[in-house]
């Protein structure tokens, strides 16, 4: 296992089980995730796939049941209260889906951005300077005196991004940040996130149920049933006529024990069920539906 120093985020075989009365809900079941410093990635999964659970664990709000999780050199499974507070104030920034959870309604945009710095003991002049800089970064320099109810939903989320960046975190986590936005505002928010990512080098993880978001980032991790199932990588390639084109590459995720989740449409296309036949070729592996033989008594 590579050392923490090299990764912004490392989740290794992460498990989260919620106990509700005498029921157990497995929200994460062996999730692996590595994010490099300065990456902007999306984690995409259907409702109930474990995204918010992951956000809470990465944010130091909740602890995993088992597995390893390290963010910016902090081992989140063994933080004492003091280090946990430091971690939540300085190392990680949050944007929540509910716009109301991100901003205080009776404070202006500038006052919202300043608040985390005030709580952290940053001096007045430095606060003012940073607030101006951050609101400019998210393209809202001219809205600094507006309260949230005088801003559009998209503008509120961009103020939320500036607020989350106030104390210069290493990692920014955004749970469904576009959940309440229309397509136009959603595209604008992603443009803001790309600018922020480029200008400040903060590592950004966007968690969302919206698969189209993968068009907005270079790398998308698909989680299914609390586990990383596939990745989409987007990169510029040179086409046949020498022109630059964006290509998307789909990759399945292989876990440490060799488990692989096949895309549901592949499984359906060949009616794969229960068991498959594997063939090892010199440079690839083939998978066939199991042939039914006479005397197969297992169905």
Q: Are 55 and 49 in contact (CB under 8 A)?
A: no
| Smallest gap from residue 209 Cβ to ligand ADP (A) | 7
**C-alpha–C-alpha distance, residues 12 and 1, integer Å:** 9
Q: Are 120 and 162 in contact (CB under 8 A)?
A: no
Q: Does 52 bind Mg ion (CB under 5 A)?
A: yes
Name the binder of 18 from ligand ADP, Mg ion, none, CB < 5-8 A by kind: ligand ADP
| Smallest gap from residue 30 Cβ to ligand ADP (A) | 14
Name the binder of 53 from ligand ADP, Mg ion, none, CB < 5-8 A by kind: ligand ADP
Tally of CB atoms within 10 A around 225? 17
Q: Pick the closer one to ligand ADP by CB: 45 or 116.
A: 45
Q: Pick the closer one to Mg ion by CB: 52 or 232.
A: 52
| Smallest gap from residue 56 Cβ to Mg ion (A) | 10
Q: Pick the closer one to Mg ion by CB: 61 or 287.
A: 61
Tally of CB atoms within 10 A around 150? 12
Six token digits for residue 202: 């903060």
Tally of CB atoms within 10 A around 48? 13
Name the binder of 271 from Mg ion, ligand ADP, none, CB < 5-8 A by kind: none
Q: Single out the segment in contact with Mg ion by CB under 5 A; choices: 29-37, 43-51, 72-80, 263-271.
A: 43-51
The 10 Å CB-count burial string (b at 16+, else e) for 94-110 is: bbbbebeebbeeeebbb
Q: Does 49 bind Mg ion (CB under 5 A)?
A: no
Q: Pick the closer one to ligand ADP by CB: 48 or 123.
A: 48
Tally of CB atoms within 10 A around 43? 26
DSSP assignments along 46-57, one per residue: -TTSSHHHHHHH
Name the binder of 27 from Mg ion, ligand ADP, none, CB < 5-8 A by kind: ligand ADP
Q: Single out the segment in contact with Mg ion by CB under 5 A; choices: 2-10, 48-56, 100-108, 144-152.
A: 48-56
| Smallest gap from residue 61 Cβ to ligand ADP (A) | 11
Residue 32 pairs in a beta bridge with: none
**C-alpha–C-alpha distance, residues 210 and 43, integer Å:** 10
**C-alpha–C-alpha distance, residues 175 and 96, integer Å:** 5
| Smallest gap from residue 155 Cβ to ligand ADP (A) | 25
| Smallest gap from residue 67 Cβ to ligand ADP (A) | 15
Binding residues for Mg ion (CB under 5 A): 51-52
């Amino acid at each position: 296992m590579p050392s923490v120093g090299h990764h912004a985020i490392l989740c290794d075989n992460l498990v989260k089980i919620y106990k509700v009365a005498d029921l157990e809900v497995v929200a994460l079941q062996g999730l692996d995730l590595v994010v490099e410093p300065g990456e902007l990635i999306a984690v995409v999964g259907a409702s109930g796939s474990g995204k918010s659970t992951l956000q809470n664990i990465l944010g130091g709000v909740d602890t995993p049941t088992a597995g390893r999780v390290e963010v910016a050199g902090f081992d989140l499974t063994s933080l004492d209260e003091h280090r946990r507070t430091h971690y939540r104030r300085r190392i990680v920034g949050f944007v929540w889906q509910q716009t109301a959870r991100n901003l205080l309604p009776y404070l202006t945009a500038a006052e919202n951005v300043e608040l985390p710095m005030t709580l952290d003991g940053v001096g007045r002049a430095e606060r003012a300077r940073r607030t101006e800089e951050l609101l400019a970064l998210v393209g809202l320099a001219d809205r600094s005196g507006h309260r949230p109810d005088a801003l559009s939903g998209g503008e509120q989320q961009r103020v939320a991004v500036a607020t989350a960046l106030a104390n210069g975190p290493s990692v920014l986590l955004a749970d469904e940040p576009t959940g309440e936005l229309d397509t136009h505002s959603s595209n604008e928010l992603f443009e803001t996130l790309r600018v922020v990512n480029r200008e400040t080098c903060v590592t950004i993880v966007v968690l969302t149920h919206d698969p189209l978001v993968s068009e907005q980032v270079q790398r998308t991790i698909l989680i299914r049933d609390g586990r990383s199932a596939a990745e989409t990588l987007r990169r510029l390639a040179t086409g046949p006529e020498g022109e630059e084109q964006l290509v998307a590459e789909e990759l399945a995720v292989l876990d440490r024990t060799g488990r692989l989740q096949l895309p549901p449409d592949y499984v359906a296309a060949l009616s794969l069920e229960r068991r498959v036949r594997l063939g090892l070729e010199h440079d690839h592996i083939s998978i066939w539906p199991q042939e039914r033989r006479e005397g197969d008594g297992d169905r």
